[in-house]
């Protein structure tokens, strides 16, 4: 089954049709800059444009950087506050004239990694971190997603963890890789002490440079790099729109 995957981010809105059996993109990826100000309406218009430019007509899954309950945006840590309470799935569905499923962006990336990437077949407790402007998290047990975890916002040293340990923090403060790795390590220790995962998967743009920080990490938990790299957001969003819990298959 092919589904169009949309990945809404702070700088770009990306999308492509995805073969949900293999996770591969079956149309060329389209990317349009996120409109500024990124009001919910402007995001809907741009997302619709991404779908239209791809010539897609069919089911759509969308990853969005906030807590999503029943298609409605419930938080806004890194996005326009006007999004809170916005029925994103409803608005996209109305514009596109078909079914749209909206999920948290970290959850979308995690679904893709569990099905096709680094978490494939792992039945224990898996935590996936998507390090970008913020810290997206997704948690799986027995291959099943526990949706909308927001572990990027645990408090460390009196501050929001993502403010100190996201890739955005590294760039904003111009941290060396060693300095950044120390921050990430502190965050990982805090989270492993709370959750005791069996595996931590690190994804996001930063996962391409894992050799810069992985050697400095001292956690007890096994840490691996995401395999799907940047496409996880798109493929996972598409997967989220497929009825029945998709990651189950990975563990059969």
- Tell me the residue nearest to ligand BGC as measured from the CB: 134
| Minimum distance from residue 230 beta carbon to ligand BGC (Å) | 13
Residue 79 or 92 having the CB closest to ligand BGC: 79
| Minimum distance from residue 189 beta carbon to ligand BGC (Å) | 20
Residue 56 or 88 having the CB closest to ligand BGC: 88
Residue 56 or 167 having the CB closest to ligand BGC: 167
Residue 56 or 238 having the CB closest to ligand BGC: 238
The angle at the Cα of 6, spanning 44 to 251, to the nearest 5 degrees, equals 145
Contact of 244 with 109, CB cutoff 8 Å: no
SS3 content of the chain, % helix, strand, coil (to 5): 40, 25, 35
| Minimum distance from residue 45 beta carbon to ligand BGC (Å) | 21
DSSP assignment of 106-134 equals HHHHHHHHHHHSTTTT--SEEEEEEESSS
For the chain, the straight-line distance linking the first and the last C-alpha, in angstroms and rounded, comes to 20
Residues at the site binding ligand BGC, with contacts judged by CB under 6 A: 65-67, 75, 77-78, 104-106, 130, 132, 134, 136, 150, 152, 162
Distance from C-alpha of 8 to C-alpha of 109, rounded to nearest angstrom: 12
| Minimum distance from residue 109 beta carbon to ligand BGC (Å) | 9
Residue 56 or 133 having the CB closest to ligand BGC: 133
| Minimum distance from residue 71 beta carbon to ligand BGC (Å) | 15
Distance from C-alpha of 137 to C-alpha of 126, rounded to nearest angstrom: 10
Give how far the C-alpha of residue 15 lies from the chain's centroid of Cα atoms, to the nearest Å.
14
């Amino acid at each position: 089954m092919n589904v169009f995957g949309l990945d809404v981010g702070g700088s770009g809105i990306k999308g492509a049709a995805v073969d949900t059996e293999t996770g591969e993109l079956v149309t060329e990826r389209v990317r349009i800059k996120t409109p500024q100000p990124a009001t919910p309406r402007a995001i809907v218009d741009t997302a619709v444009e991404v779908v239209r430019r791809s010539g897609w007509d069919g089911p759509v899954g969308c990853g969005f950087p906030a807590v999503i309950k029943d298609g409605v945006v419930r938080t806004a840590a890194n996005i326009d506050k006007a999004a809170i309470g916005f029925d994103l799935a409803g608005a996209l569905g109305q514009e596109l004239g078909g079914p749209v499923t909206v999920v948290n962006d970290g959850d979308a990336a995690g679904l893709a990694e569990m099905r096709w990437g680094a978490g494939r077949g792992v039945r224990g407790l898996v935590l996936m971190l998507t390090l970008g402007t913020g810290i997206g998290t997704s948690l799986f047990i027995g291959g099943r997603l526990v949706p909308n975890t927001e572990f990027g916002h645990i408090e460390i040293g009196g501050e929001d963890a993502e403010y100190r340990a996201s890739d955005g923090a590294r760039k904003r403060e111009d941290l060396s890789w060693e300095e950044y790795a120390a921050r990430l390590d502190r965050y990982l220790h805090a989270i492993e002490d709370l959750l005791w995962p069996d595996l931590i998967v690190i994804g996001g743009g930063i996962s391409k440079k894992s050799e810069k920080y992985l050697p400095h990490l001292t956690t007890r938990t096994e840490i691996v790099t995401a395999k799907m790299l940047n496409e996880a957001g798109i493929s996972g969003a598409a997967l989220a729109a497929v009825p029945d819990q998709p990651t189950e298959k990975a563990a059969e």
